[in-house]
Amino acid sequence: MGLIRFTQNNMKRVVLTGISRGIGRATAEYFLENGWFVVGTSTTGASTLSHANLTLLQLDLGNAASIAACVSSIRKEGWEIDVLINNAGINPGPDTYPLSIPILRSTLEVDLIGLIDFTEQLLPFMHSEGRIINLTSSAGIIANDAMQVPLTPYRIAKAGLNMYTHTLASRLASQGITVAACHPGWVRTDMGSSHAPKLPQEVAEELFWLATEDIDSGHLWENKRITNW
């Protein structure tokens, strides 16, 4: 039996990872306020955010079984996905020397490998004109020498995510699926610190813009403008 397009009051659906706090929570709220159905994930499967058009699923991107279970839940519901926003991630903080290989492995598992695993398993459920938006960072731009704090595992993961975004866009071009990476800047979150100048709500508005406007696929975006990888 083929996938049935689910429309609840003709709402579009976004799958959004990491909605328990920060950018993810603000983005979930923004999409809900604009009439979307949100399938949100958190590592515990819980959130203080509650809404009639919000479904919460447990997802630990560092655990293959958790990824498979989350995808299975989406499959069982017969949901077709209009937009996938890969927001969830970790940053282990400043480097220690010699570099900790366990920290490198765990960072790559969540920020890159798990994200790719989750995305690849959801591709069969993407709408033919859908969007995939990956939250990245200027830390993953090789030409960026302005990083004052060495964050090697995090930077490697984000550089890999940039390349995945670029190659995935080429793969899915014939299907009409748009793939984009978003560099949100320095944001006032647990990861970004309370000193950051940008609010999560500002990033949420940018992500909604990327999800709904006519944009070119295969690019890195910052403040609604294409920027260099």
pLDDT (tens digit per residue) in 145-200: 656 678 999 999 999 999 999 999 999 999 999 999 999 875 656 665 566 667 88
Q: What are the residue ranges spanned by the domains of the chain?
A: 13-227
Give the orientation angle of helix 101-108 with respect to helix 152-172, to 10 degrees: 30
Task: Choose, from 30, 97, 154, 164, the residue flagged as catalytic.
Answer: 154
pTM value is 0.91
Once rounded to an integer, what is the mean pLDDT over residues 198-224? 94
pLDDT recorded at residue 85: 98
pLDDT above 90 covers a percentage of the chain that reads: 79
- Alpha-carbon distance of 118 to 200, in angstroms, equals 24
- Alpha-carbon distance of 17 to 43, in angstroms, equals 9
pLDDT recorded at residue 5: 39
What stretches of the chain adopt beta strand conformation (E)?
13-16, 37-42, 54-58, 81-86, 126-135, 178-182, 219-222, 225-227
13-227 CATH, one of 3.40.47.10, 3.20.19.10, 3.40.50.720, 3.40.50.150: 3.40.50.720
Once rounded to an integer, what is the mean pLDDT over residues 40-64? 96
The structure tokens listed for 179 are 């793939």
Q: Is 110 exposed, middle or buried (0-12, 13-18, 19+ CB in 10 A)?
A: buried
| 154 given a catalytic annotation | yes
